[in-house]
Amino acid sequence: MTEALSLDRLAGRVTDGAVLALPPDYSFVPMAAVRALVRRGMRDLHLVTVPQAGIAADLLIGAGCVATVETAAVSLGELGIAPRFSAAVESGAVAIRDSTCPAIHAALQAAEKGVPFMPLRGLIGSDLLRVRPDWQVIDNPLADGGDPIVLLPALRPDVALFHAPFADEHGNVWLGARRELVTMAHAAKETLVTVEEVRPGDLLADETPAAGTLPALYVSALAEAKQGAWPLGLAGRYEPDRAHLADYARLAASEEGFAAYCAAHVTDAASDETTAPIAAE
């Protein structure tokens, strides 16, 4: 069942070399947990962005935690390219497994359904097929021939990690319409979640919140992290800290600037001090 941990102990459930799935920038990004991973000096992570990512991936890459990035895109959005990501790909410091958004969704759905692959239309003629030898073109066995289609192998992360507005005392996590996180959790071996707060009661007991709830069955461990998505926003709760994000984009443009950013905002756990272990059930 769901364990209640401190932020640091939650981060400690991720092991070096793990296949770690992270949400897109618009969706419940676990920034406090990402900083905790950096502080723990993680190495050789295989990041899977579902399907794209921003500062969370850039921070982990810049800090040297990542060996491989599997992604449809890493970018800072309006603030431009993700500088540590781009630099690391250019220098070969990280291996890049380029993908495309629906392929990442479909490959996670394959793992969710316990099937070894999922077909996907499109893709044929894209150089992605050239750089993804694990994707295979077959002739659609259900057609009369001459209908090529791509099969994507199932993608089963070791760990799905995200931040949610709240959980209940049983470990059920409210995700609203962010169902890419539901699929991530179904597909992953372990799911680690930080939340703004733990509320009393049972989210599954009432049909309205239940519709947006990930059952505790899938949640390996929970930690409370107030403002846990900061400097990103949490839709309907707090806005992105745009000034801070712009600072990040500016500083991370150089290795030195990135180191200065980390020294100021990541290395010292005090920046996530509002984070306290929640009471165990």
**From other proteins, a second copy, none, interface partner of 82 (C-beta below 5 to 8 A by class):** other proteins
Listing DSSP states for 204-234 in one string gives GGSHHHHTTEE-GGG--EEEE-TTTTTTS-B
SS (H, E, C) 91-102: HCCCEEEECCHH
- Shortest distance, position 39 Cβ to other proteins, whole Å: 27
- Of 7 and 161, the one with the shorter C-beta distance to other proteins is 161
Contact criterion met (CB below 8 Å) for 153 and 134 = yes
Given the structure tokens 């769901």, which residue do they identify? 2
**From a second copy, other proteins, none, interface partner of 117 (C-beta below 5 to 8 A by class):** a second copy
Given the structure tokens 């419940």, which residue do they identify? 28
**From a second copy, other proteins, none, interface partner of 73 (C-beta below 5 to 8 A by class):** other proteins
The Cα 90–Cα 222 span in angstroms is: 36
Closest CA to 166 of 200, 138, 139: 200
What would the x/- binding string for other proteins be over residues 254 to 273, using CB under 8 A?
A: --------------------
Q: How many CB atoms lie within 10 A of CB 137?
A: 11
- Shortest distance, position 40 Cβ to other proteins, whole Å: 27
Burial of 120 (0-12, 13-18, 19+ CB in 10 A): middle
- Please name every residue paired with 70 in a beta bridge, in sequence order, or none if there are none: 48, 97
Binders of a second copy in range 147-206 (CB under 8 A): 147, 149, 151, 153, 175-177
- Shortest distance, position 238 Cβ to other proteins, whole Å: 13
Binders of a second copy in range 214-273 (CB under 8 A): 235-236
Binders of a second copy in range 14-43 (CB under 8 A): none
User: Is residue 151 at the binding interface for other proteins, with CB under 8 A as the rule?
Assistant: no
Binders of other proteins in range 1-60 (CB under 8 A): 1, 24, 26-27, 50-52
- Of 39 and 83, the one with the shorter C-beta distance to other proteins is 83
User: Is residue 90 at the binding interface for a second copy, with CB under 8 A as the rule?
Assistant: no
Given the structure tokens 């069942």, which residue do they identify? 1
